[in-house]
Structure 1
Amino acid sequence: MWKQVQKSRKTLLWCVALFTVSMVILVNVTSKCSLRANLTWMKYQIFGKQRLTTEMTIKIHENMTIITAFWDLGSFRKGNGSLEYSAIDYMDWSSVFQRMVNPLVVYTDCLNFKMIMEKYRESFPNKTKVIIIERRKFWSFQIVNNISSVFEQPDYPNFYPNTVLPEYSACQHTKFAVVADALKRDIFRTEFYAWLDIGYFRDIVCDEHYFRLNPPPYIDKGRLCMTKINEFSSNISMESIFKENEVWVGGGMLVATKNIFLKFEKLYKRSVEFFLNLKIMNSDQQIIYGLYSKAGRKHLKPDVELQLFSPVDSQRVGTDNVWFYLGYLCREYV
């Protein structure tokens, strides 16, 4: 009897040790999930995932449609270090869309990504439209050679991937062309629309709660909503914005009405053409900063103004990362 008890205790200790080691490995392998999130993930794998109510899956009761896109650029370096992003990263981050109850429009040129998104959105068939399309259908990818000629100038500064990979720069401009295309197709008729980067909610891929994105509080329907990252400098030159990689607002999430988005897309395209003629180019964030700079306003005369949101507004949200402030401000558990 005593031997059997000792044997059971030994087996239990081995199981506890194995579980502990497994959890340590799991936490260290992926930095995107906290220990609590990993335990939650394991619980749902064992006991079954949270079920959606009939109301969530059938009714389109949200007042904001989300629009996003994925273009397969292969692996590319990000920033000054050794960090690299690949298609696998974006496919992993996109898993958050299976728990977002808003109507969703997705553009991609990757068949694998299309199938993955359709799998993630199988609970929302009437609230999802995945469009597979050749990227060169959009004006922003038709100017890749023009962008490349700017980056190839002697001594043009290298900021990875903004001023090194022309396709990445084009990809950032394409978000505005994609939104305009989706609105012209009139797929989902909601009062507000939002562009959302695929990787915007990368920090909560292990959160199993369903959520919706609402328009931000006190939204001005006559403006385009963005996140303010840094203070605006009234004395900065357009060239410095592009060649020093200066950032004023973040382009990861944009919110506006249909009319404002369509007006802004025309303004944005005109701005890209203007800066290409000046032989300067970077990402969408520099385009927007340049557009609203003192010199930019003089030349481009913007007919759409921005409404900016930032942590200084004293509205507490579920992240300390200023780049993602607007998204978390709009996020609501359901």
Structure 2
Amino acid sequence: MDSNNKVLNRVICCCLSVGLFYFLFCMYYAAKRLEVDDWNQRTSQFTAEMWVNDSELKKIHERMTKNAESISPEVTIITAYFNIGTLNKGGPFGQYTPEKYIKWMSVFGRIDNPLIVFTDSLEVEQIFEDLRKHFPPERTQIFVVERQDLWAFSLAPEIKRVFSQPGYPDHDPNTVHENYSCVMHAKFELVNKVIREKRFNTKYIAWLDIGLFRAVVDEKHIFPLKTPPRFDEMKVAYSGQTKFDPTLTPLEIIAGNKVWVGGAMFLGRPEILYIYTQDYMRAVRKLLDKNLMSTDQQVIYIMYQPSFDLQPRVEIQTYTTHGEDDWFYLGYLLKDAWDISLRAAQPAARFMLSFMT
């Protein structure tokens, strides 16, 4: 009997040791997944003097500070869908059809956050009304807008002219489909519009592309989106794609279809996003004046280049695994809704519990 007990004790000790090792490995891996690159060490350029120079920003700041107790700590999600036909995006999803986008929309029926939707389609308005009917009415705002009334779409003739230049880089749809470029710029116009028109009552705001959560459309559970770990509230959060190269010219970025951050989602405080979206729209104007244009991802890369003649007033914070599939990484960090280190520890906890049951 004693020998059996010794063997059992050794087995238990061995299992606990293995479990502890696995737990520590998961903790290390979780930390590596949140590793930041040198870019995130940059000091925020956002200063108090900005309130003085911008009356609209001052109003936003005063609203956020004077009404701090009544402001929800949640994240308001903003999204939009404009039907511009089938897009030749390539990759594992091939062509992006309106039918695919409608399927991807289903995830918004499970996101337990305040949601603001813009569309030019009565069909899409009805789809979102049906998707969100189990949430309290105040959790969802849907606006049907005329495409021609938006600044972003007013740029279509200019963008088409730029894309039509002989020898201009050919990346379908980025530098081929002028309305696709317009949709990308509309993100920033609409976020700015929501902030200026005070259509939110939360501490944070995030843009979310319709297709970001395409990989989980078959899930059933409701989930909230929260701020990511180690979020710097003086910056705008993005998924990082590559290490920032400060030596590139605007044409090199467009011709090489280069990407620094993934444009599917960005998050920040309203004051920060107000300034950021203003600067983005100014950068679009400057690039068009230089006969250059592509999508938001290239514009962002260009506007943060030291040589570009418009320097953004706020910094970007990147979240990345330094892997090859980080396009939607920030979104899934927010979706997890619990600390990533605890999530990484769960397999180890289940491993050890299996020996106790």
The TM-score normalised by the length of structure 2 is 0.72
The letter of the residue matching 1:322 is D
Aligned to 2:142: 130
Aligned to 1:305: 315
**Local SS of the residue matching 2:123:** helix
Query: Could you tell me the percent identity over the aligned residues?
Result: 37
| 2:107 maps to 1:96 | yes
Moved more, 259-268 or 76-85: 76-85
Shift of 1:86: 1.4
1:330 pairs with 331, 334, 351, which one?
Answer: 334
User: Does structure 2 conserve the Cα–Cα contact (< 8 Å) formed by 1:80 and 1:159?
Assistant: no
Q: Which has the higher contact order (CA 8 A, sep 6+)?
A: 2
Paired with 2:209 and 2:175, the residues of 1 have a C-alpha distance of 19
Spell out the pairing of 1:213-228 with structure 2 (5 A cutoff). Answer: 213-228=225-240
User: Does structure 1 conserve the Cα–Cα contact (< 8 Å) formed by 2:72 and 2:203?
Assistant: no
Distance 1:208-1:230 versus aligned 2 partners, 3 A rule: same
Distance 1:311-1:166 versus aligned 2 partners, 3 A rule: same
1:165 pairs with 166, 173, 177, which one?
Answer: 177
Number of residue-to-residue matches in the alignment: 267
Distance 1:81-1:329 versus aligned 2 partners, 3 A rule: closer
Shift of 1:188: 2.6
**Local SS of the residue matching 2:336:** strand
Give the gaps of 5 or more residues in structure 2: 1-70, 339-357
Paired with 1:267 and 1:159, the residues of 2 have a C-alpha distance of 25
User: Does structure 2 conserve the Cα–Cα contact (< 8 Å) formed by 1:311 and 1:322?
Assistant: yes
Paired with 2:260 and 2:337, the residues of 1 have a C-alpha distance of 30
Shift of 1:301: 1.9
Spell out the pairing of 1:1-334 with structure 2 (5 A cutoff). Answer: 63-79=74-90, 83-124=94-135, 125-296=137-308, 299-312=309-322, 321-332=325-336
User: Does structure 2 conserve the Cα–Cα contact (< 8 Å) formed by 1:80 and 1:160?
Assistant: no
User: Does structure 1 conserve the Cα–Cα contact (< 8 Å) formed by 2:192 and 2:278?
Assistant: no
Shift of 1:80: 7.9
Deviations 1:223-282 (A, max 9, x none): 111111011112211110012111111110000011111111110111001111111110
Aligned to 1:30: none
**Local SS of the residue matching 1:295:** coil
The letter of the residue matching 2:117 is V
Shift of 1:79: 3.4
Shift of 1:81: 9.4
The TM-score normalised by the length of structure 1 is 0.77
Displaced runs of 4+ in structure 1, greater than 4 A?
none
User: Does structure 2 conserve the Cα–Cα contact (< 8 Å) formed by 1:104 and 1:128?
Assistant: yes
Moved more, 71-80 or 81-90: 81-90
Moved more, 133-142 or 106-115: 133-142
User: Does structure 2 conserve the Cα–Cα contact (< 8 Å) formed by 1:79 and 1:159?
Assistant: no
Give the gaps of 5 or more residues in structure 1: 1-59, 314-319
Aligned to 1:53: none
- Report the aligned-residue RMSD: 1.9
**Local SS of the residue matching 1:68:** strand
